Structure 1
Amino acid sequence: MQGPDERVLASDIRALRKARGLTLAEIALKLGRSVGWVSQVERGLSTPSLSDLRAFAELFGVPISLFFSHDVPVESERGVVVRAGRRRTLGTSESGLVEELLSPDLGGSFEMVRSVFAPGAELKAEARRPTEEAGYVASGLFDIEISGVWHRLGEGDSFRFEGKPYRWRNPGTEPAVVIWVVSPPVY
């Protein structure tokens, strides 16, 4: 019998694999595990060890903290509601970016993330993902470069782009809070 954490973990690993267009066989080869084992992990029948979770995190390019969900005390809220004090936190304040997963899991067609950018924080190297992304600036100043064009955004402004190179920075003296939506989920 699988518990709630195993269900979320299994769903998230499967969603990350599919978002990256990888097969079970490709994952198994990269992890040095059998296809059957990876399939059992994705179905919640096997629980990966901490070293396995580190390997999954490295393979998918996500922080290992993503795989540690917070308990949902009310069964009717599981997979539906995420309470403010129970979000999964991704990143650290030392990196200049702390993100919280607002979506209950990665199993849907999109994910929603609350990103807090420290003053002066920036993504120096251009990033590009095979996703459609949109964001809403809840507070602060936020600069985003999309396909070589910089845009200065303030509280209440929003943006959207698909599959284009981007960079970001917080030019302000206060943290910038951006609600970010990504489809398909990549975290």
Structure 2
Amino acid sequence: MLAGDIRALRKARGLKLAEIALNLGRSVGWVSQVERGLSMPSLEDLRALATLFGVPVSLFFGHDVPEERERGVVVRSAQRRSLGTSESGLVEELLSPDLGGSFEMLRSVFAPGAELKTENERPTEEAGYVVSGIFEIEIAGVWHRLNAGDSFRFEHKPHRWRNPGREPAVVIWVVSPPVY
């Protein structure tokens, strides 16, 4: 649900309602209503929120769940929300129904030669499982070469990644708390 995702992103980044309101040029009451699903942000508002949270605007789309009983529980493969573009070398799909839980699960596809050149460190615990391909990850200065069936986990450590192979590397990635 869009409202819950906006709330989860705000909390994950430690932002107050007033900070969001100031950034958007909106009232605190309006932001509160958006987070409770009582008001709907415009496309311009969603773009501003995406920039503020450092996420692709596409994260806010694709919330349609055909069956009400599956809402917040099941994500069908055709209903996944895509994050990123093939130009960046990394395309991710949100496997979790939303960002409101204590973790998020992503299907990450790393193009051959794709690389995160600068270290990324965030206040999260992360784990991954390599479904296919070759995937290399540097955690706290140590590189690890992983193949299909291998997995990893780290907490609050700087990391980088790359796909040295000739085929896409597919990794199921779990992040707690959610950061998208």
Question: TM (normalized to structure 1)?
Answer: 0.94
Residue pair 2:92, 2:106 contacting (<8 A) in 1 also? yes
Alignment partners' CA distance in 2, 1:36 and 1:154: 50
Alignment partners' CA distance in 2, 1:43 and 1:130: 26
1:102 to 83, 95, 100: 95
Shift of 1:45: 0.6
Alignment of 1:104-123 (within 5 A): 104-123=97-116
1:133 to 126, 135, 141: 126
Alignment partners' CA distance in 1, 2:143 and 2:114: 16
Q: In the alignment, does 2:154 pair up with 1:147?
A: no
Shift of 1:33: 1.5
Shift of 1:26: 1.5
2:151 partner letter: S
Shift of 1:81: 0.4
Structure 1 runs of 4+ aligned residues shifted over 3 Å read none
Q: In the alignment, does 2:27 pair up with 1:34?
A: yes
Overall identity of the aligned pairs, in %: 84
1:175 partner letter: P
Secondary structure of 2:50 counterpart: helix
Q: In the alignment, does 2:60 pair up with 1:93?
A: no
Alignment partners' CA distance in 2, 1:182 and 1:32: 31
Task: Give 1:4's aligned residue.
Answer: none
1:62 partner letter: V
Question: TM (normalized to structure 2)?
Answer: 0.98
Q: CA RMSD in A?
A: 0.7
Secondary structure of 1:130 counterpart: coil
Q: In the alignment, does 2:43 pair up with 1:50?
A: yes
Alignment partners' CA distance in 1, 2:92 and 2:31: 28
Task: Give 1:9's aligned residue.
Answer: 2
Alignment partners' CA distance in 2, 1:131 and 1:56: 21
Shift of 1:70: 4.0
Task: Give 2:161's aligned residue.
Answer: 168
Task: Give 2:14's aligned residue.
Answer: 21
> Which 5+ residue runs of structure 1 have no aligned equivalent?
1-7
1:81 to 74, 77, 94: 74
Q: In the alignment, does 2:44 pair up with 1:66?
A: no
Alignment partners' CA distance in 2, 1:105 and 1:37: 22
2:80 partner letter: R
Secondary structure of 2:136 counterpart: strand
Residue pair 2:2, 2:63 contacting (<8 A) in 1 also? no
